[in-house]
Structure 1
C-alpha cells in the first residue's frame, strides 16, 4: 500500500486538483500525444495521479474537444496505470472562445487575448473532472457565461460598451457539479480556473478579473444566484492567487480562506520547504507551483477548500523532498511546474 493510503474511516474521500500541463499548441494534439503513449510529460502526470490515488480530481489545464475524446483517452491511460477513474466531465471553456472584438485594445482582432479567456484555439487549456463515482452532468450549474459587469461589487477596467456587454467573468469556467458516491450523500464541486493577475497594464484588467473570479464563490454561497449547495461541498481549482506573496489582489484569497462556511486544510509539502523563496513572506510548505527564480517564485495558487461541515482527515501537496523524489525528475519539472493538491475528507 502506498504511503498516501487513507486511514480506515467510513465515507472518507480524497479530493484533488492539479494544474498539470495538458494543453498543446493546437486542437487534436493532446489526443495524439495521449494515444501515442510516448510523451514523457504525460507519463509523469499519470504516474503522479496514480500515486496519489484521488477519488475525485479536477484538472485545470486540459484541452477540451467536442465529445471529450481526449479526456476519455486520458481516463483510459489512467486506468491502465492502475487507478481507474471512469467517470468524466468537461464542457467547452471560455478559453479560446472568440467574440470578434478587440479585448486587449491593441487594434488587431483574432489574437489569443481577444477571446473570452486567453486561448490560441477554442478549448485551449480548459477544465476537466475525473471521478471514481458517478458525476451528475444533468445537475451541473454552469456560470461560465455570467457577465463580469453583473457581479455585485465588481470593478471593471476601462472598456467599450460593446466589450462590457459580452465580457464574461470566467477566464475558463465556473461549475457547480454534483458527484454521487454510491450509498452516500452527494459531494458538490465548486470548480474554477482563474486568469493570471499579470500580463496587463496599469488598468490591472487581469488582476481585477482574477479577484472577482474567486470572490464569486462567496457571493454564490450568499445565495445571489439561487440556493447554495445543500450538504457538503468543496471549492476547488486554480485560483492563480496566493494570499501572501506574488502579484494580484491577495486579500481576496485571504478573505475566501477565512470564510466561516469553509475551512482551509492547509495542504503542505516537504519539497516546498526545501525550495523556499527567501524573499517571500508566506509559508513555503503551502506552495503549489515551482515558478523558478526568473519568474514570480513559488506560490500557493491551487486549492481544495472543503465546506465547514467536513472532517479533515489529511491534506498534502505532492512535492517530495529532493531525497525522496521519484516521479518529478531530477529537476522536479518532469510533470510541469504545478503540483497536485489533495485533501482527505470524511466524517
Structure 2
C-alpha cells in the first residue's frame, strides 16, 4: 500500500494535478558546434548521437518549462524550431519558445584580454567560436511574455553598481578605457520572462549562464566577472534595474560556480543560495550537476524558487547505467523541480 501511495503521489506530481503546478528544468546541453548553421544541419539530419541523447533525456524528464544552455543561437531561431519539432516527434510538445542573441562570440574589435591583439576569440564579448555560440533558449508548454520583461544582456560591466573590475598586479586597471566602454557583463544573457500558467496566474523566470571563473591570468578577470554576473541576479531580484512583475520568481541557469570547491569567488553563489527571496531545495543541495574530465564533479547548475513557492519534488538526472543517454548527451546533468504557485 505504501508503494502504491508513493506511485500515485509521483504520478499526480508529474501530471500536475493542480492547474498551477508545473515541472521546470534547466539543462546545459552543450549543443554547440564549430560554426553557424551546423547545429541546424545536425538536427535536420536526425542521426546525430548527441542530439538524440539530449532529446531522450528531456523527453524522459518531461518538463513543462525548459531552459537550455549551450544551445547555438541563429537568426530566425531555425535550430531552436527544429529542436522543438524533434521533441514533438518524440511525444513532448513545448510549443512556446524564446531565444535571443547571446554575448558569446559577439565581436568587439577591441583588445579585451590585454594581449596586444584584436579580433581573436578572447576579444569577443565572451568566448565563442562565432556570434550566437553557446546561447540560451527557453521552451515552454505555457505562453510567454516576450520580449523579456527585463533584459540586461547588453549591460556594461562598469555600469554594475560597485562593479569589481580587474586590476593588474601593480594595482592599475586591467581593462583599457576603450574596453570598459564596450565590455558587457553577461557572458550569454540575463533575462526575466513572464510565464503564464493560466489566464490569471503567472510567474517570472529569471535565467542566465555565467562564464567560467578560470582561463585568465593574475588579474582574475574571469573570476571577477563570474562573481559580478551572480551579483547581477541579486540586483534584478531587488528591482534595482527595473521592477519585476508582481508574481513569484524562479531563478535558474548555470552559475559555473560550486559553493564548496573549485576556483572562483564562491561567496557569490553562497549569497544566492541563502538569498532571503529564494530557497535552495533540500533535494538539490550538495548534489553535483556536472562531471568534468580531469576536474571531477561539481554543482554548477541551479534551480532556486522563490520562498513563496512550494516544491513537491526535485532532482538531478544522473545516469544509473553505463548506456544511459545522459552520458552521451552532455557533461552536465539536467536539473528539475516540481513547483506550485501560491493559492
Q: Matches of 1:55 and 1:344 in 2, distance apart?
A: 10
Q: Matches of 1:108 and 1:144 in 2, distance apart?
A: 25
The alpha-carbon distance between structure 1 residues 33 and 3, as it changes in their structure 2 partners (threshold 3 A), is farther
Show the counterpart of 1:200: 216
Contact 1:4/1:52, CA 8 A, preserved across alignment? no
Q: Matches of 1:139 and 1:302 in 2, distance apart?
A: 22
Q: Matches of 1:101 and 1:231 in 2, distance apart?
A: 41
Compute the displacement of 1:108 (Å). Answer: 2.0
The alpha-carbon distance between structure 1 residues 75 and 254, as it changes in their structure 2 partners (threshold 3 A), is same
Show the counterpart of 1:121: 130
Show the counterpart of 1:274: none
Contact 1:62/1:126, CA 8 A, preserved across alignment? yes
Show the counterpart of 1:291: 292
Show the counterpart of 2:3: none
Q: Matches of 2:11 and 2:62 in 1, distance apart?
A: 8
Unmatched 5+ residue regions in structure 1?
269-281
Deviations 1:141-167 (A, max 9, x none): 210001111111211012101111111
Q: Matches of 1:256 and 1:288 in 2, distance apart?
A: 17
1:325-336 to structure 2, matched below 5 A, reads 326-328=324-326, 333-336=327-330
Compute the displacement of 1:230 (Å). Answer: 1.3
1:301 and 2:300 matched? yes
- More strand, by proportion: 2
Counterpart selection for 1:165 from 173, 181, 184: 181
Deviations 1:267-290 (A, max 9, x none): 44xxxxxxxxxxxxx93xx10001
Deviations 1:66-114 (A, max 9, x none): 0100000000000111111111100011011111101112222221111
Show the counterpart of 2:280: 264
Compute the displacement of 1:228 (Å). Answer: 3.0
Contact 1:46/1:78, CA 8 A, preserved across alignment? yes
Show the counterpart of 2:267: 251
Contact 2:150/2:244, CA 8 A, preserved across alignment? no
Deviations 1:176-224 (A, max 9, x none): 1111123341121111000000000111000000001011111122221
1:94-133 to structure 2, matched below 5 A, reads 94-133=103-142
Show the counterpart of 1:79: 88
Q: Matches of 2:290 and 2:122 in 1, distance apart?
A: 24
1:40 and 2:40 matched? no
Compute the displacement of 1:226 (Å). Answer: 1.8
Show the counterpart of 1:61: 70
Q: Which segments of structure 1 move beyond 6 Å, counting only runs of 4 or more?
A: 1-4
Counterpart selection for 1:343 from 334, 337, 341: 337
How large is the Cα RMSD of the aligned pairs?
A: 1.8
- The worse-fitting range, judged by mean Cα deviation, of 336-345 and 220-229 is 220-229
Q: State the number of aligned residues.
A: 325
Compute the displacement of 1:327 (Å). Answer: 2.5
Residue 240 of structure 1 aligns to a residue in which SS? coil
Counterpart selection for 2:152 from 135, 143, 148: 143
Normalised to the residue count of structure 1, the TM-score between the two structures is 0.90
Q: Matches of 1:260 and 1:21 in 2, distance apart?
A: 32
Show the counterpart of 1:50: 59
Compute the displacement of 1:139 (Å). Answer: 4.6
Q: Matches of 2:154 and 2:175 in 1, distance apart?
A: 18
Unmatched 5+ residue regions in structure 2?
1-6, 167-173
Deviations 1:4-33 (A, max 9, x none): 745264121111100011100000000000
Normalised to the residue count of structure 2, the TM-score between the two structures is 0.91
Residue 20 of structure 1 aligns to a residue in which SS? strand
The alpha-carbon distance between structure 1 residues 184 and 267, as it changes in their structure 2 partners (threshold 3 A), is farther
Contact 2:72/2:133, CA 8 A, preserved across alignment? yes
